[in-house]
Structure 1
């Protein structure tokens, strides 16, 4: 018999031999024989075959999938369960996938997936309901995939989810009710989409949530009063929405809260934080941003000063209603890196020196407050961004010369006089400077030696010589100054094309005294220049084709003496939104070819010598789907407007305002708006629209031309129209009752034409119509009854021999006939206009024609021959 020690040795040796043998078998055999299940491999290959890959070089992850002989569990981005061979993880983030995710995709055959990341691919389309079949998913990341439509209700089937990221897509509508089932969810990221509706009550059921991000959507309504039900919440972001009502106190009762962002909504105040929440206050809070709302009343500085861990605090645009603010309370927040107390509407005036004790401060915005700046002021050196706009400063702040870390400076809209000191350009890190809206006259020292990339000197009293700018400059605005002479050709080198690709290169020189021609050297900007504004100078000659870059978003050369034709190279500017060439001497036909620009919103060519018909002689309707301002007045246009002329102008068919959020961003900081401006004839006088005014106004002005024929009945489709001016033409026929569909109309001018018949009685129902003018026509019959019409001056109806009734002195006899066009015929014409523009297919057209020929054959033939 073996001894016990010998038996142990034999047993140990046997185990060792067995282990070595097994290892040799494992490593000497192809992995595919052991780990990757064939059905899983085939599903992956099927999924891959559904997409094409963008880019010149094959994607790295695609390369790893090319060899069909390798184990799929070792493919890049694939993870497997080592015991079963099932694929449990798929990470194809940024893999250049192009194509829609099909409902029968091979992806959904991977039933054991626990983690799926398809973020940053081009999967434009709807997210299929089949996503709910992957019931083992714990992590689902679909950030920036281009999905649109509603979030499928089947998402509620993923009961194991702990992390759901759908940010940066185009999802619309409300969140599905089924989301309440995701009771294991800890992170829910839905920012930067098109979601609407109220804050969904289903979210309050997700008690495990630590992270909830809903910023940059279109959510509205109020926040629930019981927000503290989300007791584990650490990160809550609902900034940049349309939320209203008061901010619920319960939010400040969540002790785990680290970030609370409610900025840029429409919350109202006051903010009442009682003593009863002191025991559960969120003392972990690092970020509190309440700015950009409509909060009012006292700022709860006593409560805020207890949040000693705060790094970021934004209380901007808080209306204290001229109340006092104890700014010294903020000094307890020793960890502050960012402090925004701009535009508080307070009577308190304070020393800027007060904030010198906040030694960690890097970003400080005190704009819109009344400051005192002592000569011995010294702010902490970490400050990199300083905004002191509209602070009643009268001298150039001398303390800035010691701010060696400063990269962003805004001292605009103050009362600073004299010259810009030379030491400013020696601050080696300074990249952005806004000194606009002051009384500055010149520069000491050379700007050219500085690293400036964005410079705004507009609305001052600067005059020649024009400054030499560094080649690094990408945004330069010198509008509203006193510069003269020719635009210096040295300016053509001011745009650096190799850096900061996220910013918008811009050149704004409007409202100066420049003369001569537009420099041809603008061609050096190539496709990068996005804003070119030269309005209200004395520029002359032709507009050089080579000065039009394909990257243009906004072009304004109005108020000069430019001649010739409109540059045809504009057709290459597929990003163009704003085009203004008013008050020049352009002599050209109507630029119907501009309708091919998908984003064009503002077309102003008034007061030139444009001539001929206002449509393409080749036929077809003129479609401007995003156009909001159309002004061709004061030219020599002739001809008849086609029946369906306005049928494709879909942006004007709604009365909703269009968000005009086109502010540039520079290192995360917003800079000046487009400085867009245009003069419109509104309510009887000229009015200049700037910036946000473009959100509201939807106008059509074709006045002062030689247009003939009837008003197209398709005008009735434009229900969002605010201003309609067709005066001083040779238009004839009856005023169409379809104008009564323009329920948002505020100004209507049809004067100095040849209209006959009566004024449609339906116009009396337009409650917003504040100004109207029907004078100098051939109208007759009683003036419609209505408060808005009766309040007009009698001159609005003058020189119409047959009109009677208030506000005219001529009374109408009892036997007077009211001349009306039958409503049903008018509606039929309107629907025909829609059909011509939108109903596809010859079959629909034949069907409509057949029905009309059966029931109104004579009338149909007249319409048919009018088109022929």
Structure 2
């Protein structure tokens, strides 16, 4: 009987109390955590931008509302703050050593990227946030050295300190055994890289590019155990001696060695990295690139980037890369015609810009492969008819060439283009009707010999045109009124044509329009605002 009564007492009293406490903990953050958040907000000047998440942090916020604190995640059971998503929150000022931030001891995720901390130093107090798993300080203006207390964050899996002005020797991060992603790029770190960094048990991606790191890497005796898949070392002060230790990182799939100060040419055929899929050797002198043998380890390459390598001909090694999809061979000294065999590769993105190429091998009407999505032919000497484009093309730049004749009708195949730049050529004839509705981003036809009227079909089928530049042509007639439907339009440039029209007040409602260039045409009439509309063109900056 006693046991039954105790059971009833437990069910009637303790269980309801437990349920009440559980429900409260699921809905209510701890008041002290709210006060810490508000104190942290008060450490900075009031944000001047409207989109910041901090606008929802107010003392009038009901204590039982976690949803009112944008960018904050509270633990469902304990009510403590676990995540702060404050990227691009318009924070400006400094993070002081006594900041309220360091009272949030249960933080697991902290993203303060894209704020402005006025050249703050990196407070050593961050080492007190021992539960942190993700720390993102990308583009925040930090200066000085990374404090040694960083090694206290033993639970970190992601650390991003990129694009700051941090300096000194290599940070003490190689004891963070759970770290899988480390980005220290675009800083001023100097000295050597400890070999233990490459044997960290969980590290998958390492970006050290654009620093002042020097030779030499220590011997990587156990590098075969490395899990590292992506390694970015570009724009440092290494020499060719780093190639031997790097070649032992057999699981690499992405390797960036661009613009290193390597004295001797790199023999890419000798790199024994069979798992490599992407290789960036831009800015480096190369050797053994004209081999036609497939007896090398790079046959799995998907992307190869050889910009600014002083190449004078297309490397024969390309023929032995059956999986190649992305090729950047811009800013070299290539002359003559693009070889026909190049289009036998399954290429999707190709950049041939800033060379001296003047045509394509093959028949007069060159048909580009159906796999092609992006093509950059700019700043060459291409002339004559334009190659026939596949319907897959999305991004096309062919500016600063010698192309003549009508704009290519193959553009009118069913498609949507994000970028179409055919500026600074000698195209003539009218602008095809189709262009007004297939370009969703940038349409640049500047400095040609185009004539006729602009087609009046812009944005009629939901197109999201951002830039329209048809300046320095021979266009006549009026501005097409369909431009008033282009709600994403930011720039309109029609200068140096023969357009005859009144000032386009009918564009006044476009919410994003920032630049209108109308000079050297035949516009007439009033340019003053109608009295009943005192605030037209809300975003306009240049006219």
TM-score range, shorter chain: 0.7 to 0.9
> Residues 109 and 465 (structure 1 numbering): CA distance in 2 closer, same or farther, change over 3 Å?
closer
> Residues 465 and 183 (structure 1 numbering): CA distance in 2 closer, same or farther, change over 3 Å?
same
Q: Distance in 1 between matches of 2:215 and 2:511?
A: 46
Q: Cα distance, 1:261 vs. partner?
A: 0.7
Q: Distance in 1 between matches of 2:69 and 2:237?
A: 39
User: What SS class does the counterpart of residue 172 from structure 1 fall into?
Assistant: coil
User: What SS class does the counterpart of residue 528 from structure 2 fall into?
Assistant: coil
Q: Distance in 1 between matches of 2:145 and 2:525?
A: 57
Corresponding position of 2:214: 298
What are the Cα deviations for residues 619-676 of structure 1, in whole angstroms up to 9, with x where unaligned?
A: 6656666555x35xxxxxxxxxxxxxxxxxxxxxxxxxxxxxxxxxxxxxxxxxxxxx
Corresponding position of 1:544: 455
For 1:387-406, list aligned pairs within 5 A: 387-406=305-324
Return the match for 1:206 from 129, 135, 141. 129
Q: Distance in 1 between matches of 2:524 and 2:69?
A: 43
What are the Cα deviations for residues 221-259 of structure 1, in whole angstroms up to 9, with x where unaligned?
A: 335332434340433433554444346532345454332
Task: Say whether residues 1:190 and 2:111 are aligned partners.
Answer: yes
Task: Say whether residues 1:164 and 2:83 are aligned partners.
Answer: yes
Corresponding position of 2:350: 433
User: What SS class does the counterpart of residue 457 from structure 2 fall into?
Assistant: helix
Task: Say whether residues 1:465 and 2:385 are aligned partners.
Answer: yes
Q: Distance in 2 between matches of 1:600 and 1:183?
A: 46
For 1:72-221, list aligned pairs within 5 A: 86-87=22-23, 108=28, 126-128=55-57, 133=63, 147=70, 161=80, 163-164=82-83, 166=85, 170=89, 172-173=91-92, 177-185=99-107, 187-190=108-111, 194=115, 196-197=117-118, 198=120, 199=122, 202-215=125-138, 217-221=139-143
For 1:442-481, list aligned pairs within 5 A: 442-444=359-361, 446-481=366-401
Q: Distance in 2 between matches of 1:349 and 1:505?
A: 38
Task: Say whether residues 1:589 and 2:502 are aligned partners.
Answer: yes
Q: Cα distance, 1:611 vs. partner?
A: 3.4
Verify the 8 A CA contact 1:146 1:169 in the aligned structure 2: no
Verify the 8 A CA contact 2:491 2:514 in the aligned structure 1: yes
Q: Which runs of 5+ in 1 are unaligned?
A: 1-17, 19-32, 40-80, 91-106, 112-121, 498-503, 632-868
Task: Say whether residues 1:418 and 2:336 are aligned partners.
Answer: yes
User: What SS class does the counterpart of residue 319 from structure 2 fall into?
Assistant: helix
Verify the 8 A CA contact 1:160 1:182 in the aligned structure 2: no
TM normalised by structure 1 equals 0.51
For 1:296-375, list aligned pairs within 5 A: 296=212, 298-302=214-218, 308-319=226-237, 325-355=241-271, 357-372=272-287, 373-375=289-291
- Structure with the bigger percentage of helix: 1
Return the match for 1:531 from 423, 427, 442. 442
> Residues 283 and 85 (structure 1 numbering): CA distance in 2 closer, same or farther, change over 3 Å?
closer
Q: Cα distance, 1:410 vs. partner?
A: 1.0
What are the Cα deviations for residues 457-477 of structure 1, in whole angstroms up to 9, with x where unaligned?
A: 222222223211111111111
User: What SS class does the counterpart of residue 441 from structure 1 fall into?
Assistant: strand
RMSD: 4.3
Verify the 8 A CA contact 1:305 1:333 in the aligned structure 2: no
Corresponding position of 1:574: 487
Verify the 8 A CA contact 1:159 1:183 in the aligned structure 2: no
Q: Cα distance, 1:280 vs. partner?
A: 12
Q: Distance in 2 between matches of 1:298 and 1:394?
A: 30
Q: Distance in 2 between matches of 1:494 and 1:397?
A: 34
Verify the 8 A CA contact 2:136 2:159 in the aligned structure 1: yes
What are the Cα deviations for residues 775-819 of structure 1, in whole angstroms up to 9, with x where unaligned?
A: xxxxxxxxxxxxxxxxxxxxxxxxxxxxxxxxxxxxxxxxxxxxx
Q: Distance in 2 between matches of 1:577 and 1:515?
A: 26
Q: Cα distance, 1:313 vs. partner?
A: 0.9
> Residues 538 and 369 (structure 1 numbering): CA distance in 2 closer, same or farther, change over 3 Å?
same
Q: Distance in 1 between matches of 2:148 and 2:538?
A: 44
Corresponding position of 1:522: 435
Verify the 8 A CA contact 1:367 1:391 in the aligned structure 2: yes
User: What SS class does the counterpart of residue 451 from structure 1 fall into?
Assistant: coil
TM normalised by structure 2 equals 0.78
Q: Distance in 1 between matches of 2:21 and 2:444?
A: 63
Verify the 8 A CA contact 2:216 2:241 in the aligned structure 1: no
Verify the 8 A CA contact 1:389 1:410 in the aligned structure 2: yes
User: What SS class does the counterpart of residue 579 from structure 1 fall into?
Assistant: strand
User: What SS class does the counterpart of residue 447 from structure 1 fall into?
Assistant: coil
Return the match for 1:385 from 303, 307, 324. 303
> Residues 163 and 385 (structure 1 numbering): CA distance in 2 closer, same or farther, change over 3 Å?
farther
Verify the 8 A CA contact 2:457 2:480 in the aligned structure 1: no
Q: Distance in 1 between matches of 2:293 and 2:130?
A: 50
> Residues 522 and 160 (structure 1 numbering): CA distance in 2 closer, same or farther, change over 3 Å?
same
Corresponding position of 1:718: none
Q: Distance in 1 between matches of 2:197 and 2:384?
A: 64
Q: Cα distance, 1:506 vs. partner?
A: 1.5
Larger relative contact order (CA 8 Å, sep ≥ 6) = 2
Verify the 8 A CA contact 2:327 2:351 in the aligned structure 1: yes
Q: Cα distance, 1:523 vs. partner?
A: 4.3
Q: Which runs of 5+ in 2 are unaligned?
A: 5-11, 32-50
Verify the 8 A CA contact 1:425 1:447 in the aligned structure 2: no
Task: Say whether residues 1:616 and 2:529 are aligned partners.
Answer: yes
Corresponding position of 1:490: 410
**Count of aligned pairs:** 501
Q: Cα distance, 1:210 vs. partner?
A: 3.1
For 1:765-780, list aligned pairs within 5 A: none
Q: Distance in 2 between matches of 1:146 and 1:516?
A: 58
> Residues 273 and 399 (structure 1 numbering): CA distance in 2 closer, same or farther, change over 3 Å?
closer
Return the match for 1:598 from 504, 511, 515. 511
> Residues 577 and 230 (structure 1 numbering): CA distance in 2 closer, same or farther, change over 3 Å?
farther
Q: Distance in 1 between matches of 2:197 and 2:182?
A: 19
